[in-house]
Structure 1
């Protein structure tokens, strides 16, 4: 069904700033399971299954892609109760070279369909696919895996009403959407595809999931790379403040690049271009732009600008959109603001394309993964700090701290991701990353406590592996394919 303009803007406002960086917990801090041999008696059946691979129903899937499901318990403390089917996909290793097993990939979110995204990123991962079967999966609550369903949201206009609707339709599922449960599912997937140890590549929220996996299953962790890494030591307010600073820094970098050549806004340097961007935002806020801008408003404008900062590849489109707005056309900026609608309903079977529920699933997972619940009055005490962190984005990012209003209470136990007995991992941090600021990579390495190495990418955008850096790609591939870690502190 169509998603109303009001709901689209509500969900965008709630999830817009915090992409995969909220402190994560889950249903409970449970005793780790270490595979079939160490599993409790009730879990043994789950660890004895294999995937019945078949054709993928999606038209966009590569011809060689295979799809299936893995059965997991809803509640790992009561494995004889209700179960869920987690959707998985596989791109078999192409060769040449010795097959190394399977490499599970999580592309972030939370709420992103790994099955769909693996199809889209198959070419980018072709080097790893020569020796690994690539495994995509939709984490529980997402797309094809018991998707969060919030019913008809066309009349929903507040965070509390959204939480009420999602609780009404998916209340049975919400307590079991925490990242530790997703990590347990990942271990069942590992066993089902026939590997003794997990090889894993995680981006953004996927980095958090990979760290939680290593914390819970250190003996089953293999070669793990985390790219776009959140800092587990930060609470949601500190995380949001860090993002506000980082997005402001990224906008300044874009403005400098724009001022250097062919900028649609007047200005000789970054400060003058930045002033033009903020001036246009204020004009939209006051309704004083002298042209008919269509559906675009102040919030949409800032949302579009912010979205374009996730990848330097989007900077040319942002230039175009900024110029179009000045010419009276808001369509390009609206496309940047809302590249896809939020999911009002989700279809969880394999009969056809599942309706996207990325944003509602993200909210459900994020809110399960933190105990923090703030009121508007409590937030006002942070106004000055967010305004100082980012005059452009601070207010909007601060508002995401109200995203979990009305959601069932979560927990904070797995902000502690210590994994001293897990193998060393590779953290990849980007100096200009707006969503997971660069210090997060060092913070995660410290929290893991296992001597993991940090590779620095001196560049812009969220994440480094897909950022057209041959240096980063070669370092990551060398570790995953050959086990060769770059020196700690190496830079590209």
Structure 2
């Protein structure tokens, strides 16, 4: 699942045009991207099943002007294994935005997490434009990010991204990614798109349904973003949801013997807040960098995405009590070995097939292209009481994300237009204690789609339900995708 970053974590880690009109669904425009086939070959540098194949499609940079240049979209296929007749292709998007779908699909399939679906479907991964192997956003060496204020840091990051990827940035974003997805569908030879989208993948799937309702097949959206909220409302809802998740963790921690002093959940939460403030700006030296307050909060927040990570958070809190901040650093910057804490050490991005990870910068570029909102420090500061009320622990850091697009040209709100009344109904899966895409979002998405889509409620913790391995949820999702059996009206797991 996607990890939400604060501007502070990004900076420490670390000429918009009107979005093109959608293409003709039959690809009748000149230089049409339709009619391609994928030249499947190996997937060097990707961990996955031995049967996994990869290839590349070509799409217009600007669908309204196909002669203006092309972009690459990398795709992968894991052929259906059987038993049972093949149902076609199932495209999977794991969210972000910015998560490279080819890498994620390979790893999860190799781990057996999608094995039942893979029996009947060819599983299809793809890196959306700007991500991984698909004409990636490159912001270069961020050692020049030296500003001490959040808006200044964000502005310097924006300048670096324009310098290295200025010709690409106006054309990333969800609506164009949805148009690319229809090219992928066509190249696979499918009349209708079967789709499984997690988190941001729900936004991409809903925009696809809006743009191409006639090409929708069986669609499942898990961990559904709320299309009715603006950036401020989204951040406030997340702050409250992450606080709720922290309260639940603290209660579980007390029951198991918590390394943070306190006999009640409220006392443990207060102790964790005190620990964050005690780190201050200087932080605690670790092998991979300084664990400061921002890193501590990021580590705690990341661990709340899945209940499976709660034991690791307890271990990190125990280590921190003994003066060892390294486990918390690993939670804060997973897979990066703390490198994101030192901008001067962030390497220039490599867009070769074997080293495609540009998650942070791709996420930033797509998020900023998907919103017209730009906030000032004074405007954000005026929201302090609302964010503090939403979360005493995370309010300030989540509020800071509203400054992430400082210095970026305004995007537009096209990704919030999801009405698809003529599309087949989709299955929307929502977790009652989801901290990143709070539970009400699925009902709001169903209403916005306007096509009778059903909501499956999972009474549980964490971001997304399918990978929580609850048999009720996995059974319902797989029954729909494989057999077309939609759960009944108020379905609850």
TM beyond 0.5: yes
Specify the alignment match of 2:149 in structure 1. none
Deviation larger for 266-275 or 362-371:
266-275
The CA distance in 2 between the partners of 1:332 and 1:203, in whole Å, is 27
Specify the alignment match of 1:349 in structure 2. 352
Q: CA deviation at 1:168?
A: 1.1
The CA distance in 2 between the partners of 1:290 and 1:476, in whole Å, is 45
Deviations 1:336-366 (A, max 9, x none): 000134675332233x332x21010000000
Specify the alignment match of 1:262 in structure 2. 257
Deviations 1:28-73 (A, max 9, x none): 2624532xxx3233153x2111100011112523211000011111
Q: Residue 87 of structure 1: SS of its match in structure 2?
A: strand
The CA distance in 2 between the partners of 1:484 and 1:164, in whole Å, is 50
Deviation larger for 259-268 or 366-375:
259-268
Deviation larger for 275-284 or 175-184:
275-284
The CA distance in 1 between the partners of 2:11 and 2:407, in whole Å, is 13
Query: For 1:312, which of 307, 310, 320 is the aligned residue?
Result: 307
Deviations 1:153-189 (A, max 9, x none): 1221310000011011111000100101000000000
Query: For 1:121, which of 108, 112, 130 is the aligned residue?
Result: 108
Q: CA deviation at 1:84?
A: 1.1
Q: Residue 161 of structure 1: SS of its match in structure 2?
A: helix
The CA distance in 2 between the partners of 1:477 and 1:272, in whole Å, is 42
Q: CA deviation at 1:262?
A: 2.3
The CA distance in 1 between the partners of 2:52 and 2:332, in whole Å, is 31
Q: Is the 8 A contact 1:369 1:411 kept in 2?
A: yes
Specify the alignment match of 1:438 in structure 2. 439
The CA distance in 1 between the partners of 2:363 and 2:385, in whole Å, is 28
Change in 2 beyond 3 A, CA 1:43/1:204: farther
Specify the alignment match of 2:29 in structure 1. 41
Change in 2 beyond 3 A, CA 1:74/1:135: same
Q: CA deviation at 1:151?
A: 1.4
Deviation larger for 283-292 or 168-177:
283-292
The CA distance in 2 between the partners of 1:270 and 1:120, in whole Å, is 36
The CA distance in 2 between the partners of 1:26 and 1:437, in whole Å, is 32
Q: Residue 104 of structure 1: SS of its match in structure 2?
A: strand
Q: CA deviation at 1:264?
A: 1.1
Q: Is the 8 A contact 1:48 1:192 kept in 2?
A: yes
Specify the alignment match of 1:149 in structure 2. 138
* Pairing of 1:70-81 with structure 2 (within 5 A): 70-81=57-68
Q: CA deviation at 1:285?
A: 2.0
Change in 2 beyond 3 A, CA 1:13/1:317: same
Specify the alignment match of 1:163 in structure 2. 158
Q: Is the 8 A contact 1:26 1:369 kept in 2?
A: no
Specify the alignment match of 2:455 in structure 1. 454
Q: Is the 8 A contact 2:175 2:414 kept in 1?
A: no
Change in 2 beyond 3 A, CA 1:290/1:271: farther
Q: Residue 384 of structure 1: SS of its match in structure 2?
A: helix
The CA distance in 1 between the partners of 2:298 and 2:96, in whole Å, is 17
Query: For 1:250, which of 245, 253, 258 is the aligned residue?
Result: 245
Q: Is the 8 A contact 1:29 1:413 kept in 2?
A: no
Specify the alignment match of 1:470 in structure 2. 471
The CA distance in 2 between the partners of 1:51 and 1:206, in whole Å, is 23
Deviation larger for 155-164 or 425-434:
155-164
Q: CA deviation at 1:305?
A: 0.4
Q: Is the 8 A contact 2:11 2:157 kept in 1?
A: no
Q: CA deviation at 1:11?
A: 6.2
The CA distance in 2 between the partners of 1:163 and 1:399, in whole Å, is 16
Specify the alignment match of 2:373 in structure 1. 372
Change in 2 beyond 3 A, CA 1:292/1:478: closer
1:303 aligns with 2:294: no
Change in 2 beyond 3 A, CA 1:26/1:359: farther
Q: Residue 295 of structure 1: SS of its match in structure 2?
A: strand
Specify the alignment match of 2:407 in structure 1. 406
Deviation larger for 409-418 or 389-398:
409-418
The CA distance in 1 between the partners of 2:366 and 2:285, in whole Å, is 42
Q: Residue 30 of structure 2: SS of its match in structure 1?
A: helix
Change in 2 beyond 3 A, CA 1:135/1:391: same
Q: CA deviation at 1:9?
A: 8.2
Change in 2 beyond 3 A, CA 1:65/1:202: same
Change in 2 beyond 3 A, CA 1:146/1:391: same
Q: Residue 64 of structure 1: SS of its match in structure 2?
A: coil
The CA distance in 2 between the partners of 1:14 and 1:386, in whole Å, is 21
The CA distance in 1 between the partners of 2:70 and 2:282, in whole Å, is 52
* Pairing of 1:382-397 with structure 2 (within 5 A): 382-397=383-398
**TM-score (ref. length: structure 1):** 0.92
The CA distance in 2 between the partners of 1:381 and 1:224, in whole Å, is 40
Aligned residue pairs total: 471
The CA distance in 2 between the partners of 1:324 and 1:233, in whole Å, is 41
Q: CA deviation at 1:414?
A: 3.1
The CA distance in 2 between the partners of 1:388 and 1:93, in whole Å, is 50
RMSD (Å) for aligned C-alpha atoms: 2.2
